[in-house]
Amino acid sequence: MNTTPRTHTLHWPLIVGLGALALVRPLASIVGLTDTLGQPGTSLTLTALITAAWVLVVGLSTVARPVATLVAAGLVYAALAALISAVLSPILDGQLDGPLTNPFALVGLLVTNALWGLVAGVLALGIQRARGVRAPAVGAGR
């Protein structure tokens, strides 16, 4: 029997959706948009827009665990980006390339995107607190 209150579980459809939203960055690179518009400006702008979307979606909601939610979204994005790289690099470059070919790069990808989610999560938590949204007390709902 699960005794964890529902309010303390993560909202996985939201997490996967936010992680997938961040795929705009690698897809912009794949289609050549970042080269056309210029680097690093395009990547930085897309990162800022994705971060703003994450912070606003979670900060303006009543998600019970905004920091954990956005850390998980960062990790989902990292996993999806690694998977897309593994699928598309043989097609586009003729050989498997990317983080799955280098364990250090994979760890770096996961850590970097978890930290991105952590920063966004803290910002979202700040918005929730400013709006008066509080996490339920431990044991609430039992």
Find the radius of gyration of the CA atoms of the chain: 17
CB contact at 8 A, 96 and 86: yes
pLDDT over threshold 60, residue 79: yes
pLDDT over threshold 50, residue 142: no
pLDDT over threshold 50, residue 81: yes
Q: What is the pLDDT of residues 5-54, one digit of tens each?
A: 544 689 999 999 999 999 999 898 888 888 888 888 889 999 999 999 99
Closest CA to 59 of 73, 49, 69: 69
DSSP character at residue 94: S
State how far the Cα of 115 lies from the Cα of 112, in Å rounded to an integer: 5
Instruction: State the residue for tokens 């470059």.
Output: 93
pLDDT over threshold 70, residue 74: yes
Q: Residue 93 is which amino acid?
A: D
CA distances from 20 to 54, 73, 130, 139 (A): 11, 8, 28, 32
Average of per-residue pLDDT values in the chain: 87
Token pair for 115 = 């930290």
pTM of the model: 0.85
Q: Break the chain into its structural domains and give their ranges.
A: 13-130
